Amino acid sequence: MDMTDAKAISKTASEALGGLAETLPGLVFGYAFDDDGRATLLTPSNLTAATTGRVGWTWLHFNLADNRARDWIDNHVTLPEAAKELLLEPDDHLRLSAEDDALIGVFADFRRDLTRGTQDIAHLKFALDGRLLVTGRRQSLQSIEDLRRALARGEAMESGEQLLEWIFDRFADQVTAMNKEIAEKLEVIEERVVDDTVDPEDLRVGPIRRAALRMNRQVGALRIHFAALVDNPERDLPDDVFAMTERVALRLTTVARDIEAIQERARIIQEEATAKSADHMNRQLSTLSALTALFLPATLVTGLFGMNTHGLPFDDHDQGFWIASFVALCGSGIVYVILRRLGIMK
């Protein structure tokens, strides 16, 4: 990307924020939501009213790779200390906890480049405290971009927990789509294995299993964290937020089971394909060994009669060639009978 494109993107981002980028350095975007969940893009003129008023709620989304954003969060955002520590620390390990009625955590998402989504995992940090939701990321995220477009289309979000659940569901939808794509690839390989038409490419199930493993690692960890929060009797969360975590935990459990099923299926297919490929190779080696044994007498006879020495049998006989050929054929015939009796040849 050249400097002109970079400046154009920067200008577009500044215009979208309506000058708020200067007021809140490092802010990607912010929205104020009324009681009906309708979103209004934050600007310097409505920032104070949105963050201090008693109507609706506010969402601020920061670029945590920008130190100015970290400083602004530390000095101006009203959140429990545990939430601030989570947002400001460099550690991006998945987690989820409840602190002073606030839901804080680190969630997985797919990284997005300038034009499209990827299958690379990135992370979203969030802190939901009453009417304020603060999120942050170090890399552009696909679910956040999809949510921004949904808000631009007029989709309503009546609360911060509803918005968080939308993000969680969007990530689960993307994982499900990837899971379906992997399943379709496995079906093609599975049909070849069942039809006993194993192709060398069928043994390349490793990349598929690695992709499923990466997804299972993220979804499995998230499922554990959400289940632990739901089962924690000392949790300190509002009822609506807790109900949301229960729904997300159930969704993650379903997605995780689907991924585990794909992993097991891929493992079985790889083992079956490897076994059939090895059996095919053994049959080829058996055929080659049988042919070698059949031609061994002929090779021995031709080797003996090909020696340039005196006293060779049939050296002066007019039918010497045919006699030697007959001996070679008889030797191969005897070997063939022996191989048939041993069951090596059918």
251-295 pLDDT, tens digit each:
999 999 998 888 888 888 777 777 777 777 777 777 777 777 777
Residue 42 near residue 50, CB atoms below 8 Å: yes
For position 150, what pLDDT does the model report?
Answer: 92
Q: Assess whether 147 and 289 both reside in one domain.
A: no
Q: What is the pLDDT of residues 64-84, one digit of tens each?
A: 888 888 888 888 788 888 888
- Mean of the pLDDT values across residues 46-64? 76
Q: Which range is least confidently modeled, 4-8, 137-141, 230-234? A: 4-8
The boundaries of the domain holding residue 317 are 283-342
Q: How many domains is the chain partitioned into structurally?
A: 2
Which residue type is seen at 112?
R
Looking up residue 3, the CATH number of its domain turns out to be: 3.30.460.20
Q: What's the rounded Cα separation, in Å, for the pair 220 and 234?
A: 23
72 occurs within a structural domain: yes
| H runs (alpha helix) in the chain | 3-17, 20-23, 44-52, 67-76, 81-88, 142-152, 160-194, 206-231, 239-305, 320-342
302 occurs within a structural domain: yes
- Mean of the pLDDT values across residues 176-189? 86
- Its pTM stands at 0.73
- Mean of the pLDDT values across residues 100-124? 84
253 occurs within a structural domain: no
21 occurs within a structural domain: yes
For position 252, what pLDDT does the model report?
Answer: 92
Looking up residue 332, the CATH number of its domain turns out to be: 1.20.58
Own/partner pairs, 4-11, CB within 8 angstroms, 24+ separation: 9/114
The last residue of a domain, from among 137, 156, 175: 156
Q: Which range is least confidently modeled, 11-20, 56-65, 94-103, 295-304? A: 11-20
Q: Which of the two residues, 167 and 45, has the higher pLDDT score?
A: 167
Closest to 126 in 3D by CA, of 170, 156, 82, 157:
82
107 occurs within a structural domain: yes
DSSP state at residue 127? E
- Collapsing DSSP to helix, strand or coil, 124 comes out as strand
199 occurs within a structural domain: no
Q: Assess whether 151 and 292 both reside in one domain.
A: no
Q: What's the rounded Cα separation, in Å, for the pair 111 and 132?
A: 25
Integer CA distances (angstroms), 124 to 113, 135, 142, 278, 334, in order: 15, 7, 11, 46, 76
- Mean of the pLDDT values across residues 100-115? 86
169 contacts: CB under 8 Å, gap ≥ 6: 248, 251
The last residue of a domain, from among 132, 156, 180: 156
Q: ∠ CA 28-29-35 to the nearest 5 degrees?
A: 155
163 occurs within a structural domain: no
Q: Assess whether 2 and 150 both reside in one domain.
A: yes
Closest to 132 in 3D by CA, of 33, 52, 57:
57
Complete edge-to-edge strand list for the sheet that includes strand 95-99: 39-41, 27-33, 57-63, 132-137, 117-129, 102-112, 95-99
Identify the band that residue 117 occupies on the pLDDT scale cut at 50, 70 and 90: low
Which residue type is seen at 217?
R
The whole-chain average pLDDT of the chain stands at: 80
258 contacts: CB under 8 Å, gap ≥ 6: 176, 179
46 occurs within a structural domain: yes
The last residue of a domain, from among 134, 156, 178: 156
DSSP symbols for 142-158: HHHHHHHHHHHTT----
Identify the band that residue 319 occupies on the pLDDT scale cut at 50, 70 and 90: confident
Residue 219 near residue 175, CB atoms below 8 Å: yes
Q: Which range is least confidently modeled, 75-79, 228-232, 339-343? A: 339-343
